[in-house]
Amino acid sequence: MKNKLIISILCVLCFIISGCANVQMGFNFNKDGTITQQDTFELSSSFRQLDTAYDTDMQSKKNDSIKQGFEIKDTENGFIETKNYKDITEIATLKIFQPNIIGGTNGIQVHKGLLYDYYSLEVFLQGQSDDRPKIDFRETIPSYFSYGMNMNIWDYLEYRKQAEKEAQTMNQLANYAMQSSIDSMKMDFSITVPYGVDFSNADMVTNDNKTLTWNLKPAFLNNKDISIKTKFRIYHEKTIMVIAIIGIILLIGLIVLIVLSVTHWSNKEKRNLFLGISAAILLIIASAGIYIKYTIDNPPMLTKEDIITVEQSKDNNTENTININENDSNINSKNIDTEKQDDTLLKEANDILANKGVAYKVSAVSNIDDAGFLGLAKGKGLVLIVYDKSTNTIATVNFDKTIFALRDNKSPNSNILNPLQFKLRIDNDNQNSKDKEAGIWSGTTHIIPIYALYEVDANNNIVPGALYTGSGENPGHYHSYLYEQQNVNLSNIVLTHADSLYADVNARKISLP
């Protein structure tokens, strides 16, 4: 009877939590170059009743938005926040619009023109692992040796068989309820422009090609990377109106001159003067028309010079960040002066990256030695830049705070160090390398999953061990050794240079997510 009651409750929950959440982030690009951000955060009342903590979280989010200058409008199940930006450079300070080396996105690019400004927006959202709680009612089935179990073994086996069957049914219903809530949830990113778009990879296009919508659920719930890309124009209406008026005046003048030339046809001197001026005006009108048509039909080619970048250290949005304990006694601080930042090393590292054509600059860097260096770049999120000096190769690694706490990377109640897992991303990698079957390829970009063993020696130094990899982006088994020397070097630099990079991060007071 108890289990049947639970099953009934789960069936009811499947309906209650449907349509549980509505999270939308939208940017409206106006004709005058201003931008309006409008975000919606809503949770159904039935869902909030299941856990009152959601109301507290919603209020906390609302308070944070007010501090950031948003105007708040309460709705029945949440609130809508609105904020105006005077131009494109202001939203370039938002983390979501900053260039991302992992996703290969340029963030915001703008090319100013006479008739219009040409915009390109590229956003990369990296897939996040699914950390939803897993429900398994089989764990609630008491074992035969549980306290208070009063039945013989044969009765227990029969009871166990029935309990397993009911637990499986409840698991299916619980998973269905969870999936129903996810399927009904709205988590969107939208952009609205005044004149339509030239290109986009939006999931949905509405409002006469002016509103683009992307579904963000795959990134936040299904561990899938998402790239948001669009290109559009904002015309200079005043300039176009002035050009049109000048054109009309010239056209009227042309007609007048032609009439005058006809009426003075017998006067060769005046006729030639009027016709000469008419020809000049006609040439101006024709040239302007050709230029305007060419400009409209052929939008400019955007380059790195068109990227709008804002130093992430100027971003005051430090919410949801933490600082790893700067006094962690486990960190080997030998030969590291955390009170003094070495800008010479930072410049040297950035010069190397610039010569290699890397778009980002590192904001903190490890010691630079014969092996290379490890740097921290700040774009949309944090990215580690790995440079192998011997092969002159650069790779990127998604930031994980475990890399700065390798000595604490242990299972609970254990002194055994867990392997460090990360992914090397190498652009323009050798497709005939010894590790060509490892990971996945995206064009000429090689993404290699790494399973790195290591230990700590008597002097508290990190000592790299065996390096393993596997096929696919997220292999179930790391059964292959890493063979290519550059990949071995890059992986080892992550391990051996993490301490000095962490010290520089602390010295520069960089907040870590």
Which pLDDT value is given to residue 381?
72
Phi, psi of 95 (to 5 degrees): -60, -35
Which pLDDT value is given to residue 315?
41
Is the distance from CB of 322 to CB of 512 less than 8 angstroms?
yes
Distance CA 14, CA 454 (A): 46
254 Cα distance to chain centroid: 56
Q: Please tell me whether the overall predicted TM-score, pTM, comes out greater than 0.85 for this model.
A: no
The one-letter code for the residue type at 458 is A
Tally of residues, the chain? 513
Q: Is 155 helix (H, G, I), strand (E, B) or coil?
A: helix
One digit per residue, pLDDT tens: the chain, 513 residues? 445 445 444 444 444 444 567 888 999 999 999 999 999 988 766 555 555 555 666 777 888 889 888 999 988 888 999 999 998 888 887 878 877 766 778 889 999 999 999 999 998 887 765 555 556 666 666 675 665 566 777 777 787 788 888 777 777 766 666 666 666 678 899 999 999 899 999 999 999 999 999 998 887 777 788 889 999 999 999 999 999 999 999 999 999 999 999 998 888 888 899 899 999 999 999 999 999 999 999 999 888 778 886 543 344 333 333 333 433 434 343 343 433 455 888 999 999 998 888 877 899 999 999 999 999 998 657 899 999 999 999 999 998 889 999 998 887 667 788 899 999 999 999 988 999 999 999 889 999 999 999 999 888 899 999 899 998 888 877 878 899 999 999 999 999 999 999 999 988 888 887
Strand partners, 10: none
Distance CA 324, CA 499 (A): 12
Measuring CA to CA, which residue among 496, 435, 487 is closest to residue 464? 496
Measuring CA to CA, which residue among 511, 60, 95 is closest to residue 322? 511
Distance CA 185, CA 196 (A): 28
Is the distance from CB of 418 to CB of 410 less than 8 angstroms?
yes
Is the distance from CB of 119 to CB of 108 less than 8 angstroms?
yes
**340-349 contacts: CB < 8 A, separation 24 or more?**
340/507, 341/504, 341/507, 341/508, 342/504, 345/373, 349/373, 349/375, 349/385, 349/387
Number of helices (H), then strands (E), belonging to the chain: the values are: 11, 21
Measuring CA to CA, which residue among 396, 345, 390, 395 is closest to residue 371? 390
Strand partners, 124: 227
Which pLDDT value is given to residue 137?
62
Tell me how far apart the 2 most distant CA atoms of the chain are, in Å: 128
Terminal CA-to-CA distance of the chain, rounded, Å? 47
Distance CA 160, CA 138 (A): 10
Burial of 126 (0-12, 13-18, 19+ CB in 10 A): middle
Distance CA 510, CA 82 (A): 29
How many alpha carbons fall within 13 Å on the CB side of residue 48? 16
Backbone angle region of 428, left / alpha / beta, with phi > 0 → left and psi within -120 to 50 → alpha: left
Token pair of 3, please? 């289990």
Pairing label, strands 204-206, 211-215? antiparallel
Pairing label, strands 21-29, 186-192? parallel
Burial of 492 (0-12, 13-18, 19+ CB in 10 A): buried
Instruction: Give one DSSP letter per residue of 298-310, joined into a string.
Output: SPPPP-GGGEE--
Q: Is 179 helix (H, G, I), strand (E, B) or coil?
A: helix
234: CB partners within 8 A, 6+ apart = 29, 31, 33, 116, 117, 119, 193, 194, 195
Which pLDDT value is given to residue 128?
65
Token pair of 71, please? 């105007």
